[in-house]
Amino acid sequence: MTNIKKIAVLTSGGDAPGMNAAIRSVVRTCAYHDVAVLGVYRGYQGMIENDFAPLDARSVRNLVNRGGTFLKSARSKEFRTPEGRKKAYDNLVAAEADALVVIGGDGSFTGALLFNQEFGFPVMGIPGTIDNDIYGTTYTLGYDTALNTVVEAIDKIRDTASSHNRMFFIEVMGRDAGFLALNSGIGGGAEKILIPEQHSTLEDLVNEIAINHNKGKMSNIIVVAEGYTTGQNVYELKKYVEAQNPDYDIRVTVLGHIQRGGAPTCFDRVLASRMGVKAVESLLEGKSNYMVGINNDKIDLTPLEKAIKGGESKLDPDLIRIAKIMSV
Ligand code: F6P
């Protein structure tokens, strides 16, 4: 055990459902081990601007079910500078914090790692992003909730699409990754799923749509990951397909930030609770520079450096094949 008496916690980058549940878990695990907690508002920017408040077990009541993050989140440009990080460090030391838990995505972990390398300050990451694009964990916080939000939206769009024999291009978030699009597409019964991990041409797309049409499919749901690159956005894709087949009646729905909000699913709440406990207890054991993850249903640690530079996508190629089979 270390001499850690106070742990600071912040949320950073795009918010994700389950972040509140993770903060709650960090705070309650600290309370359980008799460690104080410093809540940092607005991510790294709040650290630079001394935007702190003490948190105790009761100050995180009624949060496990709430989307967003009550600590608020930000993408801080100033923290990318050595001067910004120095200010943040001085403020944390003045507030008597001994360690830091960062709940966020890979950009936030890059900041945490730099912070540790420059000042030797113990840091621990909890992956929170709807994109699920972090190496070292099968699931990130918020991904399951966002997935269910997308599937619910696809189901609703399918009702109107089939009533009018229409084709819909549905744009789904995920930054450069296709997890949300691929899994929601399979779960929502999409006829076609376009993801950055799989390259196809516009001609392929038009041909496949024509084949579907000939098979008697009257409506078509095409899920498009926002990171899918043909050089064309979803509206241009629609225009292109329409130009080839003027008979098709096509609409576009960009789901946008609706995917980031809402009450976390039970899966995300439990995951957040497990990850928060592991983050705090690992710091108390003297560990630093790790990200907490879930692999084979076990909570474990991956070095932050590996999580950031993991490189390859962990998208299961078999899922791509399954999507193809399901849309036969
Ligand atoms: O990383 C989460 C995410 O929602 C991505 O899916 C999306 O590309 C991006 O953030 C949107 O960012 P912003 O909220 O800054 O528009």
What is the chain's pLDDT, residue by residue, as a tens digit (328 residues)? 789 999 999 999 999 999 999 999 999 999 999 999 999 999 999 999 999 999 999 999 999 999 999 999 998 999 999 999 999 999 999 999 999 999 999 999 999 999 999 999 999 999 999 999 999 999 999 999 999 999 999 999 999 999 999 999 999 999 999 999 999 999 999 999 999 999 888 888 899 888 888 888 877 999 999 999 877 899 999 999 999 988 899 999 999 999 999 999 999 999 999 999 999 999 999 999 999 999 999 999 999 999 998 777 789 999 999 999 998 8
Instruction: Give me the pLDDT at residue 214, please.
Output: 84
85 marked as part of a ligand binding site: no
168 Rama sector, left if φ>0, alpha if ψ -120 to 50, beta otherwise: beta
| Rounded Cα distance, 89 and 94, in Å | 9
Helices marked H in the chain: 19-32, 43-48, 82-94, 106-119, 143-164, 179-187, 202-214, 234-244, 266-284, 304-309, 317-326
293 with 138: CB under 8 angstroms? yes
Find the 58 Cα to ligand 1 centroid distance in Å: 31
Residues 6+ positions from 95 with CB-CB distance below 8 Å: 6, 8, 38, 50, 52
Catalytic residue among 51, 98, 131, 133: 131
Residue 171 CB less than 6 A away from ligand 1 = no
Q: Which H or E element spans position 78?
A: none
Instruction: Give me the pLDDT at residue 288, please.
Output: 98
Instruction: Give me the pLDDT at residue 9, please.
Output: 98
- For 107, the token pair is 């950009």
Instruction: Give me the pLDDT at residue 172, please.
Output: 98
| Rounded Cα distance, 284 and 95, in Å | 19
- For 251, the token pair is 């609409």
CATH architecture of 6-142+264-310: 3-Layer(aba) Sandwich (3.40)
48 with 173: CB under 8 angstroms? no
Residue 175 CB less than 6 A away from ligand 1 = yes
The C-alpha torsion from 253 through 257 and 261 to 262, rounded to 10°, is: -10
**pTM for the model:** 0.96
143-260 adopts what CATH topology? Rossmann fold (3.40.50)
Known catalytic membership, residue 15: no
- Break the chain into its structural domains and give their ranges: 6-142+264-310, 143-260
Which residue is listed with tokens 């309650």? 28
16 with 71: CB under 8 angstroms? no
Residue 260 CB less than 6 A away from ligand 1 = yes
Cα distances (Å, whole numbers) of residue 179 to 66, 132, 184, 189, 315: 23, 7, 8, 15, 7
